[in-house]
Structure formats: structure tokens, C-alpha cells
Amino acid sequence: LNKLELSELDKKHYLHPTTPPRAHYLSGPSTIFTEGKGIYLKDIEGKERIDGVSMLWNVNLGYGNEELAEVAKQQMLKLSYSSSFSGQSNEPAILLAQKVASLAPGDLNVCFFTSGGSESNDTAFKLARFYWKVKGQPEKTKIISLEQSFHGVTVGATSATGIEGFNKFTTSNAPNFLTAAAHVLNAELGDKSDPNYSRSIRGIIESEGSDNIAAVILEPIQGAGGVRFPPDGYLQAVRKLCDEHNILLIADEVICGFGRTGKTFGVDNWNIVPDFLCVAKGISSGYAHLGAVIMREHVREAFIQSDEMMFHGFTYSGHPMACAVGLKTLEILERDQIVKNSRLRGEELLKGLKYLESNYKHITNIRGLGLLAGIELVKDPENGISFDPAVHAAALYTDICMDLGLQLRYFDWKGTNTVALAPPLIITSQQVEEIINRMSDAFKRFEKQI
């Protein structure tokens, strides 16, 4: 079918996630992708563009990887599906669990498989509560998350999500979720004079009572919140706080996991070990619907000390094809030194972004670690004057980039105009340069249009 025919069918029958339904119904799909190879995408009009964000921060090994396609095909032919209920198992799931344990820090040795990030976080919330139940403290149920966090869209994950649009999408959320101010280091270290003290994790633990709190969840680096980095020492402070108050720590590594930040996991940048580490996206590089909750030995120990049944699990937990693809993804990650590439190419990307900052007037607040980076667009960086929200500066800039063959994402929550970069981890130096060149051309046009 041609673009027009597909657009008409799309408008009529396809309700899209994170898209305004009315505008979409009127105008149809903005792009219909048809092909992908490496870091390049092609749409139905034959236009090629670089995927500068790995689509949804997930296509870490790029498109059209033959090894991943082959392993999926072979596994589908050999055993297309098997359950993991009632103790039944399959080889790819077992080997993937072992591989993940070998990569995860500390004694994060036990995996529970899911089909994606929201399911992983929901599972971690339930397992944290189950942990306290089997330990004889069933009243420890509350979950603390951070402002501007994104943890997914199932009822639990959306209730933990701090970004207002998602959190307030419906008029009712799950109970026992609390939101803390993000990244207020001094308050977390105990400084009561910090203006955010009462809204900090520490302040909330004090007001709610640690006996009521099951877990704290955070992203090592916030993604959809606007690529927001914690101050140095923050993750260590939160880990210590949780230990002192007998509260579990959940790291949402759905974006950061498996090399995105130049280390295998985001938490590896700050040398902490959470009690649960939730992954998805990069574990299969977007080739299969797969996620996992990795838990520490003491968590599994609590479960096996009890006679309770694990009344939790998805039809697709431990799906053999998804796990075979996951296993191959992680083998490629190690064999091809993808994490190292992320670190080295990330340094080049950051340098390129700083070059753009020194050459164009509306860029500021460049930050990046590995191949996860963000920039902000402001009207006047020297005097700290933001663009009028009505001009939608970040949207305009990413539209121009798109037109010039570079797919990026923007976040304009709370008046910031953040543009995010997270290219596939297989990117070469030359391709990083190509991204910077296209961004540079886009800035020239942006300055004329804004």
C-alpha cells in the first residue's frame, strides 16, 4: 500500500501511544518507517535518517542485525514457546538468567523475566512488598519515587512516575505511592536547612515512618524526565539512607542498563548495588519484548525461607525466543566491546555538543555519560532567559533535525527545552561526526526561524 492508503487506515484503526488522539486522527502518522540498517532508518518516502535516539532508547545494537534475526528464527523453529509457570523452564531463559547475573554488580544474581520495563517495575514493587510480607512486616507497602521520573505506564508504574502528564493521565492511581523531590543531595545527607528537606526521600521517610515504606525507586539518570543527572554522591547517599532505614532500593535501569552510560549498568558509575535492578530495552536491543528484574541474594533468600507461593508471573515470562535474542544481544555486547564503544563514542559526542555550544547561541547545559546525552535550548544562555513556551523551541529544533535526516527526541516539561541524544551503541566516530554536522546545520536553520 502507498503512504496515503496506509495513513487513512492508520487514522481509522490505530490508536497510538503517547500521541494526541485528535491531532493524529486529523493528520495521520508523521512517519511510516519501512527499513532500518545499523544506525540508519528509511521511511515510506525513501527518506533516510540517522536514528540519534535508538528509537525509544532501546535499539542499542542498531537495526537489521543478522545474528539476532537468525537466533530468533532458529529458536522459533526449535521451541517457539514454553511456560515458566509451575517450575517449567527452557534453556535460553536459564542461560540468559545466568548471563545477566554474571554482568550485574554485587550479588544481583537472580532474574525474574517480564516483557518490558513497566512490567519489570511493577514486578519489583510487588516483590518488594512480598519480601516484607514474608519477613513478617506486611505493613511496609509504600513506594517512594522521584519527581520527573518515568517508570512506565501500567497502573503501578504510572503511579510511581513523577512526570505529571503520565501520572495524571487518569483521575485515579494506585495507592501507597509517594513522590519525593529529585536529586536534593544535601537534604538526603541530612541537612535540615535544605528548603526541600520535607519533600526529600529522607524527609518523607521521617514523616511517614520507615515501618510503612517498602522501597525507593529511581533511575540512575532520568531519561524521559529530561536526561537529568544526579549530583555526584546522590546515589550513594540514597543507598545509605535505605540501608539505615531498612528500605529496599530499586534501580530502574530500563534506559541505562547494558551499556548506555558507558558502563554495563548506570549504577556502576557510582558503585552502588541496589536490591532490585529493573531492565528491559537494551537487554534485547528492541528485537524482542523482554525485560527482567534482577534481585540480590538476600531477596531470594527471604522468598525461599517462606512457604508462600509466587502468585506473580506473565504468560511471556521467560519466553524462549525473547530470551534467546536477549542472550545473543549480551554475547554481542561482550564480544564486540560495545560498552567500551559507548564510553569512547560518548566522549566524542560530548565534545561535539560542546563545539555546538561554543558556535551557536541558543544551546546550554550540555550533559552526557556514555551515549546518553542532553542539551537545553534557551533564548539567552548568558542572562538565563528561556524561550517563551508558546514557541515550542525544542519541538521546532527536532523537527528541523528530522528534516535534515536526524531523528532526536525532545522533552519540554516544566518550561525546559531539552533535546535528548542516545544513538545506537554500535555507532562509529565518523557517524558521531555526522550527527554533529546535521545538528550544526539544524542550528543554522533554527536561528533563522526562531
Cα separation, 319 vs 312, in Å, equals 15
Exposure string (b/e) for 47-60, b if CB count within 10 Å is 16 or more?
A: eebbbbbbbbbbbb
Q: Which of 51, 122, 147, 219 binds ligand PLP (CB under 6 A)?
A: 219
Smaller CB distance to ligand PLP: residue 188 or 252? 252
Between 187 and 250, name the residue whose CB sits nearer to ligand PLP. Answer: 250
| List 147, 252, 268, 348, residue binding ligand PLP (CB under 6 A) | 252
Binding mask 170-209 for ligand PLP (x = CB under 6 A): ----------------------------------------
Q: Give least dist CB 259 to ligand PLP, A.
A: 15
Q: How far is the CB of 315 from ligand PLP (least distance, A)?
A: 16
374 binding ligand PLP? (CB under 6 A): no
- Select the span of 59-67, 219-227, 337-345, 386-394 touching ligand PLP (CB under 6 A): 219-227
Phi (first) and psi of residue 357, to 5 degrees:
-60, -35
Mapped to the 3 state alphabet, what secondary structure does 223-256 carry?
A: CCCCCECCCCCHHHHHHHHHHHCCCEEEEECCCC
| Identity of residue 438 | R
Task: Tell which one of 92, 116, 162, 318 touches ligand PLP (CB under 6 A).
Answer: 116
Question: CB of 292: closest distance to ligand PLP in angstroms?
Answer: 11
* Residue appearing with cell numbers 531498612: 246
- Per the CB < 8 A criterion, the answer to whether 126 and 312 are in contact is yes
254 binds ligand PLP (CB under 6 A): yes
Closest approach of Cβ 265 to ligand PLP, in Å? 13
Instruction: Note whether 151 binds ligand PLP by CB under 6 A.
Output: yes
Handedness of CA 244, 247, 252, 258 (dihedral sign): positive
Least Å from the CB of residue 75 to ligand PLP:
21
Tell which positions 49-78 bind ligand PLP, by CB under 6 A: 56
Short-list 447, 449, 421, CA closest to 434: 421
Distance of CA 225 to the CA centre of its chain: 10
End-to-end CA distance of the chain: 37
* Residue 143 touches ligand PLP, criterion: CB under 6 A: no
Cβ distance to ligand PLP smaller for residue 258 or 446: 258
Binding residue for ligand PLP (CB under 6 A) from 180, 201, 247, 255? Answer: 255
Burial class (CB within 10 angstroms; exposed 0-12, middle 13-18, buried 19+) of 33 = middle
Burial class (CB in 10 A: 0-12, 13-18, 19+), 303: middle
Q: How many CA atoms lie within 13 A of 363 on its CB side?
A: 22
Determine the residue with CB nearest ligand PLP: 117
Rounded to the nearest whole angstrom, what is the least distance from the CB of residue 201 to ligand PLP in the complex?
18
Give 373 or 378: the residue with its C-beta nearer to ligand PLP: 373
Residue that is written with C-alpha cell 493524529 in the block: 24
Give the interface size with ligand PLP as a residue count (CB under 6 A).
Answer: 15
Least Å from the CB of residue 280 to ligand PLP: 4
Tell me how far, at minimum, the Cβ of 118 lies from ligand PLP, in Å.
3
State how beta strands 363-369 and 291-296 pair. Answer: unpaired
C-beta of 256 vs 396, nearer to ligand PLP: 256
Pick out residues in 261-300 that bind ligand PLP (CB under 6 A).
280
Q: Least distance (Å) from ligand PLP to the CB of residue 95?
A: 22
Strand pairing partners for 277? Answer: 251, 294
Residue 122 within binding range of ligand PLP, rule CB under 6 A: no
Other C-beta atoms closer than 10 Å to the C-beta of 22 total 8
Place of cell 495513513: 7
- For ligand PLP, the binding residues (CB under 6 A) are 56, 116-118, 121, 150-152, 219, 223-224, 252, 254-255, 280
